[in-house]
Amino acid sequence: MAQVKNQRQKNRVIHNNLNTISITYYTDPLCCWSWAFEPQWRKLKFSLGNRLSYRYCMGGLISHWKTFSDSVNSISRPFQMGSLWAQASQQSGMPIDDKIWMTDPPATSYMACVAVKCAALQGIEAEEKYLRKVREAVMLNRSNVARKEILFDIASDLSKEKKGFLNVDSFILDFNSGKGTDAFKKDLQEVQYKRIQRFPSLVIQKAGAGPTIMIGYNNYEGLINAIGPDFIGPPVYIDQNQYQNYFGNVMEREMNEIM
């Protein structure tokens, strides 16, 4: 009888393994298309639950404006970035305030990337929450996230939302000591090695199959097609209240994605 029970447990483990998926998400806090992709990404995470494991890799979109050039979108100066942000907002429906590129343009995305990696040193949940807060700060509130004091304030606000969630003293120490920079450099090396040139980019790994990649912004159907509809299964009902409670701050566009 015990042997039968053990075999059932083994079969269950094998079944679960065959239905799990791992995603490496290449992104940047200043990437407007990654912010535009939040409704689809959040829906996927909520729908798959513990079937999905993922990690973030910061791409370093803008080192500084002296060397930055986006020939596809004809951008080489900060004020030219506003039109791209407006396009991302119009196409995706996610709110974006593009006026920051006229009033107080961030000089680099590297500082924000380092800050995200400082949060990552305290766990994936801290990293994810902090990345979201940075995106909200710059995309919605016109906060210049190339400034250290702004990044520290975001960490402080996050720590107050949930006591013990993020240790601000450790965050600042890791930022100033260079530990966050070292972690970000590893991300940059990975991006260069994998030749990731657009954000968001998702490298998708399913059990028993080779990796697939989704490059750039896509709708939810495109995301599911990249993963494989058979793997995802039929659509499931998502309770709006549970969704809201799970993520906390949710945009109207994000709620519309699950309806």
CB 183 within 8 A of CB 120: yes
Could you read off the pLDDT of 45-81 as tens digits, one per residue? 999 999 999 999 999 999 999 888 887 888 989 999 9
Query: In 3D, which of 113, 91, 59 has the Cα closest to residue 218?
Result: 91
Give the residue-averaged pLDDT of 183-205. Answer: 96
pLDDT band at 8 (very low <50, low <70, confident <90, very high): very low
Residue 238 has pLDDT above 70, yes or no: yes
DSSP-derived secondary structure for 108-123 = -SHHHHHHHHHHHTT-
Could you read off the pLDDT of 19-37 as tens digits, one per residue? 789 999 999 999 999 999 9
Give the residue-averaged pLDDT of 98-125. Answer: 97
Name the least confident of 40-49, 80-89, 114-123, 159-168: 159-168
How far apart, in Å, are the Cα atoms of 215 and each of 55, 98, 162, 195, 198? 16, 23, 34, 11, 7
Burial 76-100 (b: 16+ CB within 10 A, else e): eebeebbebbbbbbeebebebbbeb
Give the residue-averaged pLDDT of 169-174. Answer: 98
Q: How many residues are recorded in the chain?
A: 259
Which domains does the chain possess?
23-257 (3.40.30.10)
